[in-house]
């Protein structure tokens, strides 16, 4: 069943993101900068929750993983060795009249889509973002922002090995920004020139590649459904055929997701063979002591886009119900876990008690405080940003020490003792 493109839904998500402070157009007061976006106060919480969950699951809770955080700008020889300087290109044609440039595969016929002018032959255009390091702007000072986080894990392989004394199989993980001078960015935060990745390079012996690939396929599926809350029916695996894979990859699976603008890539899983370590190390960098041999480990690479994760999570969570808009985020991903309200703004004893509860909860959770309008409006406002629990302090609270806790999804209320609130919320943070 093919899902239809829902541009109206996409517009609503973009509008909510701006209105409630998830994601703003970048540099907006200066007219913006094409396809750049800033994560606002709620967006950064959501994004950090995804990154922290990923780091916890794939690095801290595993025995076979370590993390790094490498520099964004690396020695240009890294990109020579990896093949990016030569091969990380798109074919571009240029209009002889208006000089606009287009990706060759996206132009129909041989006329300029903007003015109808004649187009040049295709030239290879490198997608790496270039800059100068230091005070002199010449060829020697040209450097590149990394187009992927992966190369740092290969370049640092020996340092990690020497300092952690790992044995195969083991992985190196990293979360960080990467930059690509894309010709055709678009679809909100789906394709931008500056983006963030969560990547793992998992080092193995060659004979183990098939079962390791399978292990990571299951791990990635579980991450998408169990941690992000994406529905299985919206996730599709595309086994990338021969000829369309990167030349070094023997097998690649794209995980595609049904975004409101159509089925597009979310994550990738690739078997990169020993291509990368062979590029960077003249001698085999790993010694198998038991077998008494030196070898180049092979690599399985699970790659997760951070911004695409955010977009998929928002697309999945956005629901319009009879009289409310609600983000049904997994509670662990929600920017605020709980909101605290005094029933009435003009009763100092209620406000004081609510402030007290608020400050106490803030020690353990991200918490919102709201005393504007009536309770219904406050619920509506929190539903729209996905806050799983709202706590109201009323006159009974002052007598009995309990509060009303309202559940976002069930829209049911129950009375909970203030002293049990922390445990109650913790127990529901799935």
Nearer to Zn ion, 119 or 306 (CB): 119
- Pick the closer one to Zn ion by CB: 114 or 293: 114
User: Cβ of residue 70: shortest distance to Zn ion, in angstroms?
Assistant: 41
Nearer to Zn ion, 101 or 428 (CB): 101
Q: Dig out the tokens for 331 from the structure.
A: 């509670």
Residue 250, number of CB atoms within 10 A of its CB: 14
Residue 114 touching Zn ion (CB under 5 A): yes
Closest CA to 145 of 67, 34, 71: 71
CB of 96 to Zn ion, least distance (A): 8
Joined tokens for residue 121: 């032959």
Q: Does 246 engage in binding with Zn ion (CB under 5 A)?
A: no
**One of 14, 50, 59, 112 touching Zn ion (CB under 5 A):** 112
Residue reference for tokens 């093949």: 83
Which residues, 65 to 104, sit near Zn ion by CB under 5 A?
95, 97-98
* Contact present, 180 and 191 (Cβ < 8 Å): no
Nearest residue (CB) to Zn ion, 56 versus 97:
97
Give the integer Cα–Cα distance in Å for 66 and 77.
25
**Rule CB under 5 A: which of 204-233 touch Zn ion?**
none
Closest among 231, 227, 296, 300 to 55, alpha carbons compared: 227
Residue 258, burial from CB neighbour count under 10 angstroms (0-12, 13-18, 19+): buried
Query: What are the residue ranges of helices labelled H in 56-139?
Result: 76-82, 84-87
At closest approach, how far in Å is the CB of 110 from Zn ion? 12
Q: Which structure tokens are listed for 348?
A: 């100092």
What is the closest distance, in whole angstroms, from the C-beta atom of residue 99 to Zn ion in the complex? 7
Minimum CB–partner distance for residue 94 and Zn ion (Å): 9
Minimum Å gap between C-beta 119 and Zn ion is 8
The smaller minimum CB distance to Zn ion, of residues 97 and 123, is found at 97
Question: Which CB, 115 or 398, lies closer to Zn ion?
Answer: 115
Q: CB of 57 within 8 A of CB of 223?
A: yes
Give the nearer residue to Zn ion in terms of CB position, either 56 or 99.
99
Stretch near Zn ion under the rule CB under 5 A, chosen from 31-39, 105-113, 157-165, 217-225: 105-113
Nearer CB in complex with Zn ion: 115/430: 115
- To Zn ion, the closest distance from the beta carbon of 102 in angstroms equals 9
Q: Which long-range contacts (CB under 8 A, 24 or more apart) does 14-18 make?
A: 14/188, 16/318, 16/325, 16/384, 17/43, 17/314
Question: DSSP secondary structure string, 213-239?
Answer: HHHHHHHHHHIIIIIT---GGGEEEEE
Least Å from the CB of residue 100 to Zn ion: 5
C-beta of residue 96 within 8 angstroms of C-beta of residue 118: yes
Distance of closest approach, residue 114 Cβ to Zn ion, in angstroms = 5
Of 3, 20, 14, the closest CA to residue 335 belongs to 20
Q: The tokens of 158 are what?
A: 């020996």
Member of 34, 106, 115, 411 binding Zn ion (CB under 5 A)? 115
Instruction: Please pick, from the candidates 21, 67, 91, 117, the single residue that binds Zn ion as defined by CB under 5 A.
Output: 117
Whether 425 and 385 have beta carbons less than 8 Å apart is answered as no
- Give 99 or 415: the residue with its C-beta nearer to Zn ion: 99
Phi, psi for 180 (deg, rounded to 5) = -140, 130
- Residues binding Zn ion: number (CB under 5 A): 7
Binding site for Zn ion (CB under 5 A): 95, 97-98, 112, 114-115, 117
């Amino acid at each position: 069943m093919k899902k239809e493109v829902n541009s109206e839904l996409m517009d609503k998500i973009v509008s909510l993101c701006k209105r409630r402070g998830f994601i703003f157009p970048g540099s907006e007061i200066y007219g913006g900068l094409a396809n750049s976006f800033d994560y606002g106060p709620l967006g950064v919480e959501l994004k950090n929750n995804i990154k922290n969950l990923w780091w916890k699951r794939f690095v801290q809770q595993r025995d076979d993983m370590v993390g790094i955080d490498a520099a964004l700008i690396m020695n240009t020889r890294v990109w020579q060795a990896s093949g990016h300087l030569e091969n990380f290109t798109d074919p571009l044609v240029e209009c002889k009249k208006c000089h606009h440039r287009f990706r060759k595969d996206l132009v129909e016929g041989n006329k300029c889509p903007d003015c109808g002018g004649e187009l040049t032959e295709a030239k290879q255009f490198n997608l790496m973002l270039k800059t100068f390091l230091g005070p002199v702007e010449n060829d020697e000072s040209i450097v590149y922002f990394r187009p992927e986080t992966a190369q740092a894990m290969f370049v640092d392989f020996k340092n990690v090995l020497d300092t952690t004394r790992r044995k195969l199989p083991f992985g190196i993980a990293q979360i960080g920004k990467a930059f690509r001078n894309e010709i055709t960015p678009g679809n909100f935060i789906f394709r931008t020139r500056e983006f963030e990745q969560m990547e793992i390079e998992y080092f193995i012996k060659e004979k183990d590649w098939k079962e390791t690939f399978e292990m990571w396929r299951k791990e990635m599926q579980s991450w998408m459904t169990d941690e992000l809350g994406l529905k299985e029916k919206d996730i599709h695996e595309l086994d990338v055929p021969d000829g369309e894979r990167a030349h070094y990859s023997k097998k690649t699976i794209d995980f595609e997701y049904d975004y409101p603008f159509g089925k597009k890539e979310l994550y990738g899983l690739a078997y990169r063979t020993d291509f990368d370590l062979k590029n960077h190390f003249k001698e085999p960098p790993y010694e198998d002591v038991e077998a008494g041999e030196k070898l180049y480990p092979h690599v399985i690479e699970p790659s997760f886009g951070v911004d695409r994760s955010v977009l998929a999570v928002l697309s999945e969570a956005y629901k319009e119900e009879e009289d409310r808009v609600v983000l049904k985020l997994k509670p662990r991903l929600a920017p605020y876990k709980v909101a605290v309200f005094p029933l009435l703004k003009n009763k100092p004893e209620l406000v004081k008690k609510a402030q007290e509860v608020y400050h106490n909860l803030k020690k353990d959770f991200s918490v919102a405080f709201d005393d504007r309008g009536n309770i219904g409006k406050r619920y509506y406002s929190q539903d729209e940003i996905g806050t799983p629990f709202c706590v109201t302090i009323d006159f009974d609270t002052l007598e009995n020490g309990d509060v009303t806790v309202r559940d976002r999804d069930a829209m049911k209320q129950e009375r909970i003792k203030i002293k049990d609130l922390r445990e109650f919320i913790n127990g529901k943070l799935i």
